[in-house]
Amino acid sequence: MFTGIISDVGKVVEMSRAGQLARLGVDSSYDPASFSLGASVANSGVCLTLVAVAPSARGARLSFDVGAETLRVTTLGELRLGGRVNLERPLRVGDELGGHLVSGHVDGLAQIEWRKDFEGQAHFRFRAPEGLARFIAAKGSVALDGTSLTVNLVEGNAFEVLLIPHTLSVTTWGDKRAGDAVNLEVDRMARYAARILGQD
């Protein structure tokens, strides 16, 4: 379980494929001694299992095996060497819940329709996949590329969020442009409510 509060931005240093499996290597600023093999790490909102860790010039090189289905339904299949990913380590008992509860299981891809920058902030409009928009509500939470964000406006399948300068500077969001796809995880509470009401 995660909170959607990004703790590092990693750089892709390996993306190799062998059949239906890919090996993703990410250079991070984390302490390599703080990891155990089998740990969970969210990569741009996708929960992956750590299969190798080694010291690097920056901190720790983290390696993950990524299956064909994950490559197909998330943005990880589009990663290239030098690309950047939002990283988050899992929530521990006693940690501050600064964002909202995020599972790291991506529901679908949202597409950026436009981006408007002003006063160091960025206003984004997204198009949600058919079937997921009903789980997105104004003033509710949504995880986009692993980042916990508050929804400002919903119009049909479209929704908008506003990113402050701090978020833009400590995540990959400063790089995002119109037409880009991002990993979308809707609020679990919205899914549970729909299930209880018999709408899911």
Q: What are the structural domains of the chain?
A: 8-88 (2.40.30.20), 108-196 (2.40.30.20)
Q: pLDDT tier at 98 (50, 70, 90 boundaries)?
A: confident
How does pLDDT run across 46-56, given as a tens digit for each residue?
A: 999 999 999 99
pLDDT of residue 94: 66
Residue 158 phi, psi (nearest 5): -100, 150
Do 15 and 27 contact (CB within 8 A), yes or no?
Answer: no
**Distance (Å, whole) CA 172 – CA 176:** 7
Average pLDDT, the chain: 92
How does pLDDT run across 109-167, given as a tens digit for each residue?
A: 999 999 999 999 999 999 999 889 989 999 999 999 999 999 999 999 999 999 999 99
pLDDT of residue 184: 98
How does pLDDT run across 100-124, given as a tens digit for each residue?
A: 788 899 999 999 999 999 999 999 9
Q: Which residue would you say has higher pLDDT here, 99 or 6?
A: 6
Is 60 exceeded by the pLDDT of residue 196? no
Q: pLDDT tier at 44 (50, 70, 90 boundaries)?
A: very high
